[in-house]
Amino acid sequence: MRFKNREEAGVELAGRLVSYRGQHPLILGVPRGAVPMARIIADSLDGDLDVVLVRKLRAPGQPELAIGAVDEAGTVLKGRYLEMVSDEYLREEVRSQQEILRKRRALYTRAQKAIDPAGRLGVIVDGGTAPGSSMLSAIRSVRARRPARIVVAIGVAPPSSLARMEAEADEVVCLCSPEDFYAVGQFFEDFSEVTDDMVVEALTRPRKLAPQPVR
């Protein structure tokens, strides 16, 4: 399966989640790329939109390789390569990524105050994940705030990451889980960068009727 863009994946996910319409779900996009997708899902399900802030921890000299993830509370999720880096490097990397999270929270809060997920159905949205560290961090971050239920809605993930998500979320909806997985972008014709301005626009845009998936 290959998607035209994130918006197409968002429409398809919204179709898979239609049973949650009317349950006042809180749709949580993982910034920045997933927030426009989450906007589509929130519109379709008549839900509220917010973000869940996590960041990948990068390997030294290999920024695309995740060694773990950190949420805005500073909780570190350890990845398979984390023990290969020094404590000093890890402290600096966590500090660096938390600074980005603080700046994003300040920017996004000016657009919309954070919404408490306690007691609510939370749907965490992402376009895709490779090792899954960021999504697992997002699940645990939201779980700590006591939602009634957590559903993960994701465009694409390898089977190994999908299994890890299924072990932590109450439900996982994944559109595509291929064995020959190399990078999330290989499954999107257009995987252009999403900017902070685009995130703010998605958070502040009035709710509207979302397009329905083509059957």
CA angle 42-46-47, nearest 5°?
A: 55
User: pLDDT for 139-177, tens place per residue?
Assistant: 999 999 999 999 999 999 999 999 999 999 999 999 999
Tokens of 15: 């179709």
Confidence of residue 207 (pLDDT cuts 50, 70, 90): confident
Residue 8, pLDDT > 80, answer yes
What tens digit of pLDDT does each residue of 80-137 get?
A: 888 889 999 999 999 999 999 999 999 999 999 999 999 999 999 999 998 899 999 9
Residue 206: CB partners within 8 Å, gap ≥ 6? Answer: none
CB 212 within 8 A of CB 45: no
The confidence score (pLDDT) of residue 213 equals 52
Give the neighbor-by-neighbor strand order of the sheet with 171-176.
48-51, 26-29, 121-128, 149-156, 171-176
The domains of the chain are located at: 6-53+117-204
pTM above 0.75, yes or no: yes
Q: Is the pLDDT of residue 210 over 70?
A: no
Which of the four CATH numbers 3.40.640.10, 3.40.50.2020, 3.30.390.10, 3.30.70.20 does domain 6-53+117-204 have?
3.40.50.2020
Does residue 9 carry a pLDDT above 90? yes
What is the mean pLDDT of the segment spanning 26-51? 97
Closest-CA residue to 204 (of 53, 6, 48)? 48
Q: State the helix-helix crossing angle for 159-168 and 133-143, rounded to 10 degrees.
A: 10
